Amino acid sequence: MPEEVKKKRITDVGPHDYHDYLSPMIKKNYGKWAYHEILDPGTMVHVAENGDKLYTVRMGSPRLVSSGFVRDISDMADKYCGGYLRFTTRNNVEFLLENEKNIEPLKKDLEKLGYNVGGIGNVVANIVHTQGWVHCHTSASDASGVVKSVMDELYEYFVEDKLPSKVRIAFACCLNMCGSVASSDIAILGTHRKPPKINHERLVNLCEVPSTIAACPTNSIRPEMVGDKKSVRVNEETCVFCGSCYTVCPAMPIADAENDGLSIWVGGKVSNARTKPTFSKLVVPFIPNEPPRWDKAVQAVKTILEAYKKGAEPGERVIEWIERIGWSRFFKITGFEFTKYHVDDFRLAETSMNYSSHARF
Amino acid sequence: MGKKHETPLLDELKKGKWISFVREMERAAEKSERTEDLLGQVEESYRDKITHWKHGGMAGVRGYGAGMVGRFSEFPEKYPGVKECHSIRLNQTSGFFYNSDVLRKLADIADQHAGGLFNFHGSTGDIQILGLTQADAEDLFQKSAELGFDLGGSGSDLRTPSCCVGPARCEFANYDTLQICYDLTHAFQDELHRPSFNYKFKMKFSGCANDCVAAASRSDLAFIGTWQDNIKINQGEVKNYVKKFNVQKYVLDKCPTKCMWFEGENLVIDDSNCVKCMHCINEMPKALKSGDQKGLSILIGAKAPLVTGPRMGMMLIPFYDVHEDSKNDYEWLKGLISNMWEFWDEYGVSRERIGELIARVGLVTFLEGIGLEPTIDMVREPRSNPFIKFEDEEAGAE
């Protein structure tokens, strides 16, 4: 049997050829689109050079989905789109329609099945997020639950175009920052506040000491003999609770039910439009985990969003608004406390200081 | 059926308007009873406010060193359905295009061999199927491969490349993001399936500077579409936009280089000062189009904070003629990538991303290593400190 298996095994075939999944209209107008228009927050139309029109209906998704979800959207694609559909880079589903008359029936069908249509234009689109307690061992919080709680609260901003510009929200359950937390308009990040606990008994068997030492961004780990066992010591004065050592060394768990939680960041973007791409910056250093609804974190996000909605000019992304009014005013308007934790003290931190007499009173 | 668990905390998350992942997990559990235990364990995490997955864990398929993420429950006796709860990454299609037929087949595979649960999609781009055991892996892999879906990357390898929707449905696309993503993924199958690098390496392809796949923030090598010649202006359509909104305030005044103005009723652009930021084209897509000499910029080194701090992609190649090079099967680009990987292999250390290596050895050393000349587009401004390492031959021998 094993020989037989070896012979027939398929390997290194790569991804499926995408051409097989492009609708006839997309194939015909590939690279020949003239312009697009947003019809409403759930629908847009792309017009080809030859006048062909392709309608897109965008549907929200929790990203973590069942086979039933996959069959639901397949049924909808069969009924309205010749079986073709796609996903977006923010994990929404897009139905690609050739017949304008199908738009409303499709939306009604989706609504009946409990799905949300929206996410196009000056809206809060889907929240890019991670594994959390559903599948990851280094998470400081849960991804799916926080995202569900935030999207429930901000639902009107997904289905209605009510903001000065688009607002990208992202979530990561630890500072590995899988996804786009590092550069989103509003970002929620799982955060630890205590150093790792060291299992000296087992460390030498489970971990490679040099790579554990090298994993630390603040050089806080040193080799040490504990009794007759090789182990490590963590300088708790300089440890920043990043959890990187646990990633490489299972004997250094850092998760802590009472001291783990979330931090909130703002003002990142990846687009080059007008201003250059930039990182998200710290607003709230710590909010405790409050499953299942994470009320304080949700309210912090909402506070930022509403202040932005009120203060920004049309077309301004969050960072453009903040840079126009200044960070001091941003903190004043939103009511968040500016603390010593907001002052960067990592490598090259001084690049974020104010080398001028510019101040706002 | 697996044992039903009480989930009062998760049940709260079935309420509200946004589609509920708890509902999805419950639907999956109807098809695959091991997901009942996943619900039970996640409920316990909600109660305890802590993850209940054991550290790491090896899982995989024969012949590959990548594509599966091993995961084991802390409470295998209480939740036997997730004693082993691995996820497997399937390489998505370029642009995430599918049809109903293949999605249903993937749904059947997930029900039969895993927990009936997916992530559509993982952040890097892969389709993730959640909740399989090592014993399921071979069947799941081969059935997916029969559908034409190989595994994606994981570990210290080339991770699954990903791209924006590109020319399939966007008038802004300056090159065929789907095709180059597909071509390079196929060209580097070995590097993707069999980890041989110091650390992970990601590639992402965006058709323009709007960067809809966030390449410049989320990939070690980012490909961002651009053009070299003049923006094409349809003056008639400009006039239509002028009737609709304040073009001066919201387009011209927002131009980062102030290279646009009106002469009479005609819009004029000084293209020599345009940085291809996309703002004016975004605002007036009917009136303005990118030029005809299309290609892409290549940015290098983006990464998340660990270990030496977060980095954005920095300009490496201002203009790469992808159309010309694709005719030669990307000979020039593959040469450049292979030079980078060789330099990284030679001088990088374990778990050092290529952006960290460049920061450590200096950009010029890196450029010399891969055979590129420094150009002014690589820097925001020239250095302001005088600690210059002149080379001996330039200073003259004593």
Contact between B219 and B313 (Cβ < 8 Å): yes
Same domain, B72 and B197: no
For residue A46, what pLDDT band results from cuts at 50, 70 and 90?
Answer: very high
Query: Which of B147, B189, B217 is facing A183, going by the closest CB pair?
Result: B217
Q: Which of A145, A120, A128, A157 is nearest to A63 (CA)?
A: A128
Number of domains in chain B: 3
Distance CA A325, CA B191 (A): 48
* Inter-chain CB proximity B304 and A177 less than 8 Å: yes
* Inter-chain CB proximity A217 and B307 less than 8 Å: yes
Q: Nearest chain B residue to A92 by CA: give it.
A: B120
Q: Does B23 contact chain A (CB < 8 Å)?
A: yes
Does A144 have pLDDT greater than 70? yes
Same domain, B311 and B193: yes
Peptide bond into A65 cis (omega under 30): no
On whether residue B391 sits in a domain, the answer given is no
Reading the block at residue B253, the tokens are 């005044």
Q: Which of A69, A290, A142 is nearest to B42 (CA)?
A: A142
Reading the block at residue B215, the tokens are 């390449």
Long-range pairs for B144-147 at CB < 8 Å and ≥24 separation? B144/B90, B144/B106, B144/B109, B145/A10, B145/A11, B145/A13, B146/A10, B147/A16, B147/B102, B147/B105, B147/B106
| pLDDT for the residue numbered A6 | 59
Distance CA B189, CA B192 (A): 5
Residues of B in contact with A5 (CB under 8 A): 138
Does A176 have pLDDT greater than 70? yes
* Inter-chain CB proximity B20 and A62 less than 8 Å: yes
* Inter-chain CB proximity A89 and B212 less than 8 Å: yes
Q: Give me the phi and psi of B312, to 5 degrees please.
A: -95, 160
Between the CA of residue A72 and those of A95, B18, B104, B118, B269, what are the distances in Å?
12, 17, 9, 14, 49
* Inter-chain CB proximity A96 and B100 less than 8 Å: no
The single-letter code of the amino acid at A130 is T
* Inter-chain CB proximity B305 and A180 less than 8 Å: no
Same domain, B133 and B78: yes
DSSP A100: G
Q: Nearest chain B residue to A110 by CA: give it.
A: B19
Same domain, B248 and B358: no
Q: Which of B249, B267, B289 represents a domain boundary (last residue)?
A: B289
Same domain, B169 and B45: no
| CATH no. of A18-113 | 3.30.70.3340
- Per-residue pLDDT of A79-132, as tens digits, reads 999 999 999 999 999 999 999 999 999 999 999 999 999 999 999 999 999 999
Same domain, B328 and B345: yes
Instruction: Give me the CATH number covering residue B237.
Output: 3.30.70.20
| CATH no. of A203-248 | 3.30.70.20
3-state secondary structure B228-286: CCCCEECHHHHHHHHHHCCHHHHHHCCCCCCCEEEECCEEEECHHHCCCCCHHHHHCCC
Does A5 have pLDDT greater than 60? no
The single-letter code of the amino acid at B344 is W
- Report the residue of B39, B46, B51, B323 to disrupt the A interface, i.e. the one with the largest count of A CBs within 10 Å: B51
Sheet holding B68-69, edge to edge: A64-66, B117-120, B127-132, B86-90, B68-69
Strand, helix or coil at B72?
strand
Contact between B173 and B208 (Cβ < 8 Å): yes
Q: Does B351 contact chain A (CB < 8 Å)?
A: yes
Domain of B371 in residue numbering reads as 158-227+293-378
Q: Nearest chain A residue to B166 by CA: give it.
A: A31
List all residues of chain A from 3 to 62 with a beta carbon under 8 Å from chain B: 5, 9-18, 20-22, 26, 30-31, 33-36, 46, 54, 56, 60-62
Rounded-to-10 torsion of CA A71, B4, B33, B44: 90
Reading the block at residue B138, the tokens are 């071979």
Between the CA of residue A242 and those of A255, B217, B253, B353, what are the distances in Å?
11, 20, 42, 18
Residues of B in contact with A31 (CB under 8 A): 167, 173, 176
Q: Does A248 contact chain B (CB < 8 Å)?
A: yes
| pLDDT for the residue numbered B48 | 98
Q: Does A111 contact chain B (CB < 8 Å)?
A: no
Reading the block at residue B130, the tokens are 């959640």
* Inter-chain CB proximity B27 and A66 less than 8 Å: yes
- Report the residue of A208, A240, A270, A355 to disrupt the B interface, i.e. the one with the largest count of B CBs within 10 Å: A270
* Inter-chain CB proximity A217 and B308 less than 8 Å: yes
Strands (DSSP E) contained in chain B are 68-69, 86-90, 97-99, 117-120, 127-132, 162-163, 203-206, 221-227, 232-233, 260-263, 266-269, 288-289, 294-300, 314-320
Q: Nearest chain B residue to A252 by CA: give it.
A: B55
Residues of A in contact with B52 (CB under 8 A): 133
On whether residue B32 sits in a domain, the answer given is yes
| pLDDT for the residue numbered B323 | 97
User: Which class does domain A124-193+257-352 fall in?
Assistant: alpha beta
Same domain, B109 and B250: no
Q: Give me the phi and psi of B335, to 5 degrees please.
A: -65, -45
- Report the residue of A272, A298, A321 to disrupt the B interface, i.e. the one with the largest count of B CBs within 10 Å: A272
How close is the nearest chain B Cα to the Cα of A317, in Å?
A: 12
Q: Does B38 contact chain A (CB < 8 Å)?
A: yes
Give the percent of chain B with pLDDT over 90: 96
Bridge partners, residue B300, by sequence: B221, B314
* Inter-chain CB proximity B99 and A89 less than 8 Å: no
On whether residue B327 sits in a domain, the answer given is yes
Strands (DSSP E) contained in B85-233 are 86-90, 97-99, 117-120, 127-132, 162-163, 203-206, 221-227, 232-233
| pLDDT for the residue numbered B398 | 56
What residue ranges do the domains of chain A occupy? 18-113, 124-193+257-352, 203-248
On whether residue B387 sits in a domain, the answer given is no
On whether residue B153 sits in a domain, the answer given is no
List all residues of chain B from 314 to 333 with a beta carbon under 8 Å from chain A: none
* Inter-chain CB proximity A16 and B165 less than 8 Å: no
Same domain, B282 and B297: no
Query: Which of A16, A116, A180 is facing B218, going by the closest CB pair?
Result: A180
Q: How many helices (H) and strands (E) does chain A have?
A: 12, 12
- Per-residue pLDDT of A148-160, as tens digits, reads 999 999 999 999 9
Instruction: Give me the CATH number covering residue B353.
Output: 3.30.413.10
| pLDDT for the residue numbered A7 | 65
In this prediction, residues A74-81 reach a mean pLDDT of 98
| pLDDT for the residue numbered B1 | 46
How close is the nearest chain B Cα to the Cα of A328, in Å?
A: 24
| pLDDT for the residue numbered A2 | 59
Q: Nearest chain B residue to A30 by CA: give it.
A: B168
Same domain, B19 and B138: yes
- Supply the ipTM of this predicted assembly: 0.96
Q: Which residue has the higher pLDDT, A241 or A356?
A: A241
* Inter-chain CB proximity B21 and A62 less than 8 Å: yes
On whether residue B392 sits in a domain, the answer given is no
| pLDDT for the residue numbered B383 | 95
Residues of A in contact with B259 (CB under 8 A): none
* Inter-chain CB proximity A135 and B130 less than 8 Å: yes
How close is the nearest chain B Cα to the Cα of A255, in Å?
A: 7
Same domain, B17 and B99: yes
* Inter-chain CB proximity B309 and A20 less than 8 Å: no
How close is the nearest chain B Cα to the Cα of A186, in Å?
A: 15
Distance CA A233, CA A300 (A): 37
* Inter-chain CB proximity A66 and B55 less than 8 Å: no
CA angle B124, A26, B175 (to 5 degrees): 55
Q: Nearest chain A residue to B209 by CA: give it.
A: A272
Strand, helix or coil at A204?
helix
Same domain, B179 and B300: yes
| pLDDT for the residue numbered B167 | 98
Instruction: Give me the CATH number covering residue B78.
Output: 3.30.70.2500
Same domain, B303 and B208: yes
In this prediction, residues A264-275 reach a mean pLDDT of 98
Low-confidence ranges of chain B (pLDDT < 50): 1
Pairing mode, strands A53-59 and A93-97: antiparallel
Q: Does B300 contact chain A (CB < 8 Å)?
A: no
Give the percent of chain A with pLDDT over 90: 94
DSSP B302: -
| pLDDT for the residue numbered A347 | 86
CA angle B365, B367, B372 (to 5 degrees): 150
Pairing mode, strands B288-289 and B232-233: antiparallel
How close is the nearest chain B Cα to the Cα of A165, in Å?
A: 12
| pLDDT for the residue numbered B249 | 97
Which H or E run contains A170? Answer: strand A169-172
Between the CA of residue B391 and those of B35, B388, B395, B397, what are the distances in Å?
64, 9, 7, 10
For residue A4, what pLDDT band results from cuts at 50, 70 and 90?
Answer: low
Q: Do domains A124-193+257-352 and A203-248 have the same CATH topology?
A: no
Q: In A118-257, where does DSSP find H-type helix?
A: 143-153, 155-159, 200-206, 209-214, 244-248
In this prediction, residues A36-55 reach a mean pLDDT of 97
Q: Nearest chain B residue to A46 by CA: give it.
A: B169
Q: Give me the phi and psi of B125, to 5 degrees please.
A: 135, -20
Residues of A in contact with B171 (CB under 8 A): 33-36, 46
